[in-house]
């Protein structure tokens, strides 16, 4: 028996779970105008909303409010879901639920952002989603800017403005030992001597790698290419790139220690 937890008057331990087969059958009924089928789909996916809410536990917002907002995202997903696409409903719905909650948190952010900046950011996010749906790949900022007729710099500024602030002491990784905090990932520009020495050590270590190892590291970490792109560039498989990259990094670490 599940533990009873009530959110917005809903006993979460009694929420039903629908199979994929049941979902598809209900969607067909809903698309034929059956309102009861739609309500059944909503009720059968409230656990999905609850699972998403766990990502927003420490935002200081009442859980009941976030649950209601998440349900709005769920209903939008239900009304826009395309049965002809070969994708599970949960895969489609989770990003929409998350998006709805994030919009709510941004609109209620204590740090005030001008309406025009918010509008620009939301237009950019909507255009990103639209291009992704059409091309089945994530667009870059230049593509979004061109479609909207807004400069790339204005879009970057608007998207930065609506980001939620986080504490420097917020943990971002924990493996059972000491946690890694945000502040641990911020570089210290004052340690210029250390950076200079490290750069020399890395440069010397790179010289000890063979040409293919050096090429892979340059393409991956200096030019920002994916392993698939690197594989295409040098004519080998992605699996080979992955193995060679790992070996090159291991060698690089070893040579830096020796130096």
The per-residue pLDDT for range 18-55, each reduced to its tens digit, is: 888 888 899 989 988 888 988 899 888 888 888 888 88
- Do 212 and 244 meet the contact criterion of CB atoms below 8 Å apart? yes
- Do 97 and 103 meet the contact criterion of CB atoms below 8 Å apart? no
Do 100 and 119 fall into the same domain? Answer: no
Q: So what's the pLDDT on residue 4?
A: 44
What is the torsion angle, in degrees rounded to the nearest 10, for the CA atoms of residue 215, residue 217, residue 218 and residue 222? 170
- Do 252 and 217 meet the contact criterion of CB atoms below 8 Å apart? yes
First to last CA, the chain: 61
Using a 10 angstrom Cβ sphere, with 0-12 exposed, 13-18 middle and 19 or more buried, the burial of residue 150 is middle
Do 196 and 172 fall into the same domain? Answer: no
Do 10 and 99 fall into the same domain? Answer: yes
C-alpha span between 160 and 149 (Å, rounded): 19
Do 251 and 236 fall into the same domain? Answer: yes
Do 99 and 122 fall into the same domain? Answer: no
C-alpha span between 4 and 150 (Å, rounded): 50
pLDDT, mean of each 10-residue run, the chain (259 residues): 48 73 89 88 88 77 85 90 83 87 74 69 85 82 88 79 56 54 50 51 72 83 80 84 85 68
Q: So what's the pLDDT on residue 5?
A: 46
Domain range enclosing 74: 1-108
In DSSP terms, 7 is beta-bridged to 10
Q: So what's the pLDDT on residue 251?
A: 80
Do 17 and 96 fall into the same domain? Answer: yes
- Do 77 and 118 meet the contact criterion of CB atoms below 8 Å apart? no
C-alpha span between 174 and 181 (Å, rounded): 9
pTM over 0.85: no
Q: Which of 110, 37, 98, 35 is nearest to 69 (CA)?
A: 98
Pairing of strands 171-173, 10-11: unpaired
**CATH code, domain with 172:** 1.10.10.10
Do 165 and 197 fall into the same domain? Answer: no
Using a 10 angstrom Cβ sphere, with 0-12 exposed, 13-18 middle and 19 or more buried, the burial of residue 93 is buried
Neighbours of 69 (CB within 10 A): 22
C-alpha span between 206 and 256 (Å, rounded): 9
Q: Which residues contact 40 (CB under 8 A, 6 or more apart)?
A: 18, 26
- Do 48 and 94 meet the contact criterion of CB atoms below 8 Å apart? yes
**Count of the separate structural domains present in the chain:** 3
Do 80 and 34 fall into the same domain? Answer: yes
Looking at 53, 78, 108, the residue that finishes a domain is: 108
């Amino acid at each position: 028996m599940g533990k009873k937890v009530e959110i917005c008057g809903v006993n979460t331990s009694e929420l039903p779970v629908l199979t994929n087969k049941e979902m598809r059958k209900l969607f067909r009924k809903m698309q034929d105008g059956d309102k009861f089928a739609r309500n059944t789909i909503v009720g059968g996916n409230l656990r999905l909303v609850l699972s998403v809410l766990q990502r927003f536990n420490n935002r200081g917002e009442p859980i009941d409010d976030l649950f209601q907002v998440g349900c709005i995202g769920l209903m939008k997903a239900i009304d826009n879901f395309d049965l002809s696409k070969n994708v599970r409903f949960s895969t489609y719905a989770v990003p929409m639920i998350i998006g709805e909650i994030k919009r709510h948190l941004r609109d209620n952010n204590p740090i005030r952002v001008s309406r025009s900046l918010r509008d620009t950011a939301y237009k950019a996010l909507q255009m990103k989603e639209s291009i992704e749906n059409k091309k089945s790949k994530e667009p870059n900022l230049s593509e979004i800017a061109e479609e909207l007729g807004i400069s790339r710099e204005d879009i970057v500024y608007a998207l930065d403005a609506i980001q939620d602030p986080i504490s420097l002491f917020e943990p971002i990784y924990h493996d059972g030992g000491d946690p890694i905090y945000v502040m641990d990932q911020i570089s210290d520009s004052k340690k210029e001597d250390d950076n200079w020495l490290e750069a020399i050590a890395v440069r010397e270590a790179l010289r000890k790698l063979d040409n293919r190892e050096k090429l892979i590291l340059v393409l991956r970490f200096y030019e920002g290419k994916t392993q698939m792109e690197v594989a295409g560039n040098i004519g080998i498989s992605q699996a080979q790139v992955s193995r060679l990259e790992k070996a090159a990094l291991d060698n690089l670490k070893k040579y830096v220690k020796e130096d």
